[in-house]
Amino acid sequence: MKSKFRQVALIGKYQTVASGASGALSRSALEDIAHFLHAQGCEVVLEHDTAQNMGISGYPVLTVPEIGVRCDLGLVVGGDGTMLGIGRQLAHFGVPLIGINQGRLGFITDIPFDSFTSTLAPMLRGEYEEDHRSLMHARVMRDGQCVFDALAMNDVVVNRAATSGMVELRVEVDGHFVANQRADGLIIATPTGSTAYSLSAGGPLLHPSIPGWVLVPIAPHTLSNRPIVLANVSEIAIEIVAGRDASASFDMQSLASLLHGDRIVVTRSKHHVRFLHPKGWSYFDTLRQKLHWNEGVA
């Protein structure tokens, strides 16, 4: 049966150096996947940086915006960080993404490389589950002007520098004052990001179907400052009241230095990321596998 997806973009882990041992593995993996896609009747293109950094030739090369306009599917090979970066860039094009895991945890790149042929074949024929993940739109406001603007799929984190003391943050939701918090920082996480930094800071797991965010303090001075789940239609504002060398990070992949009085304003983006999973996929299967639940149970 012919593939449902005519033109498929192959996107690898940019940060891997092609001449290194791990780069050689990633290059071999990408070439194996490209050959498989071609055999399934797909026209394979390579993302520009992937082709350049991996030294792969013989396939058409497109930039990410060109992939968004021209391709029917993006196949991302790497870890969750690779998927986060490409997911944000392709979200407003609506291109669906499949993740093949060559990283460690793989919450959103969930297909193991060693079984990609048996898993991808039916998916390319249209046998898959579709999963939409919301994005956050964050702005850093200074004296009424936006000085930094970013999307985040996992989280927006405001925190102190490694060598400085606590920061004091004023938190507002929909214009209503919530609290002034003294802590090492504060995390605003989507359901996708609830298994990342938020989880390590004591936040709850949020099922991807929940239209919410979780607000999680990092090492708060007052232990009664606890994580809280909010509707993702809310506008969250965090103002820097006190503390040195504070910064804001967006999916841990872009960074803004902050001054006293700066406000980080977070709203729901109108865009979302489309993930495709194998037929029968369950979020609970992912949690059980990645978090090692039930280990040692007969």
Say yes or no: 122 and 140 in one domain: no
In a domain, 277, yes or no: no
Say yes or no: 146 and 90 in one domain: no
Say yes or no: 151 and 99 in one domain: no
CA dist., res. 157 & res. 215, Å (int): 10
| pTM exceeds 0.85 for this model | yes
Say yes or no: 139 and 265 in one domain: yes
In a domain, 287, yes or no: no
In a domain, 236, yes or no: yes
In a domain, 40, yes or no: yes
Say yes or no: 218 and 262 in one domain: yes
Residues serving a catalytic function are 80
Say yes or no: 29 and 120 in one domain: yes
* Residue given tokens 């936040």 in the structure block: 203
In a domain, 104, yes or no: yes
Domain containing residue 115: 7-126
Say yes or no: 139 and 113 in one domain: no
Count up the domains in the chain and report the number: 2
Residue 94's CATH number: 3.40.50.10330
Per-residue pLDDT of the chain (298 residues; tens, 9 = 90+): 678 999 999 998 755 444 444 444 578 888 999 999 999 999 999 999 999 888 888 899 999 999 999 999 999 998 899 999 999 999 999 999 999 988 676 889 889 988 999 999 999 999 999 999 999 999 999 999 999 999 999 999 999 887 778 999 999 999 999 999 999 999 999 999 999 999 999 999 999 999 999 999 999 998 889 999 999 999 999 999 998 889 999 999 889 999 999 999 999 999 999 999 999 999 999 899 888 898 765 5
Say yes or no: 151 and 103 in one domain: no
